[in-house]
């Protein structure tokens, strides 16, 4: 790919009940496979997508939450979660999966992928991105 | 087209990937490789098993670039390169090996 663009994927919906979250994740992985500069944002009910220990056995839907841990392998290192969205739902970063990526240049040191940012900071991130996808 | 493995008929999609991953057994890879005129060696099985473990953990079939990196990390750099992987699976380590392993077509593969 000759030109790298800043892609921002915005996830606003709860993981199950609609297909948006899973579709978004697939699109992200496809975009990342083409070595674009990929960021993910989780806002509103989208923060539920990253909740730890999901169990979908009562829903008859595939539990795709383990797939978020593959994002690091796809070089997706920038995952932003909105602080206000967490707080409004009584959640904190401790309720979320611990997502990491490995820095090959530092002997595969594990580094955190998730950053909690304020609504104002999120707005700046959106403004900086060149291509936005809303799910 | 459905394939026949040890007397059982298993459904596949239009590109030959197993329709139901839970129906996989080693015989699936044997039958598919025979159709491709490929003889499976221990090295092929190493990669097939690696893919199955990857799917078990992450619920996706990795894109070839991601697979190459992951193989390099767990099996060593001499195997984590496309030359080695393509020598085993000439139709593409992502597509062909995933198909033998009963996985869906790799995510990010068009």
Cα–Cα distance, B62 to B48 (Å, whole number): 12
Mind listing the pLDDT tens digit for each residue in A89-114?
999 999 999 999 988 888 889 999 99
Q: Give the number of domains in chain B.
A: 1
Query: Is B98 known to be catalytic?
Result: no
Which residue among B21, B60, B70, B109 is the active-site one?
B109
- As a residue count, chain B comes to 110
The answer to whether position B72 is within a domain reads: yes
Distance in Å, alpha carbon of A50 to nearest chain B alpha carbon: 14
In a domain, B108, yes or no: no
Tell me what percent of chain A is helix, strand and coil, each rounded to the nearest 5: 35, 25, 40
Whether residue B91 contacts residue B97, with contact meaning beta carbons closer than 8 Å, is answered with no
CATH of the domain at A106: 3.40.1260.10
- Number of structural domains (chain A) is 1
Four-CA torsion A61, A66, A70, A71, nearest 10 degrees: 80
- Residue B105 in any domain: the answer is no
Higher-scoring residue by pLDDT: B1, A128: A128
**Per-residue pLDDT averaged across A13-32, rounded?**
92
Domain range for B82 = 3-100
The residue of chain A with its CA nearest to that of B67 is: A73
pTM over 0.90: no
pLDDT in tens, A48-83: 999 999 999 898 888 999 999 999 999 999 999 999
Report how far residue A55's alpha carbon sits from residue B1's, in angstroms, rounded to the nearest whole number: 34
């Amino acid at each position: 790919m000759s030109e790298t663009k800043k892609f921002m994927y915005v996830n606003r919906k709860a993981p199950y009940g609609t297909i948006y979250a899973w579709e978004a994740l697939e699109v992200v992985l496809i975009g990342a496979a083409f070595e674009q500069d990929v960021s993910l944002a989780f806002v509103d009910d989208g923060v539920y997508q990253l909740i730890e220990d999901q169990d979908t056995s009562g829903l008859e839907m595939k539990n795709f939450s383990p797939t978020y841990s593959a994002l690091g392998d796809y070089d997706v290192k920038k995952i932003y979660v909105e602080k206000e969205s967490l707080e409004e739902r009584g959640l904190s970063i401790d309720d979320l999966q611990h997502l990491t990526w490995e820095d090959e240049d530092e002997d595969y040191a594990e580094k955190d992928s998730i950053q909690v940012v304020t609504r104002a900071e999120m707005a700046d991130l959106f403004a900086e991105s060149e291509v936005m996808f809303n799910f | 087209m459905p394939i026949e493995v040890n007397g059982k008929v298993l459904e596949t999609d239009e590109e030959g990937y197993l329709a139901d991953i839970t129906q996989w057994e080693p015989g699936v890879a044997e039958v598919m490789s025979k159709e491709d005129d490929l003889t499976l060696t221990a090295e092929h099985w190493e990669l097939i098993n690696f893919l199955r473990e990857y799917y078990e953990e992450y619920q996706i079939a990795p894109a070839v670039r991601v697979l190459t990196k992951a193989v390099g990390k767990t099996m060593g750099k001499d195997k984590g390169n496309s030359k080695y992987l393509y020598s085993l699976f000439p139709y593409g380590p992502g597509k062909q090996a995933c198909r033998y392993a009963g996985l869906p077509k790799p995510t990010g593969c068009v």
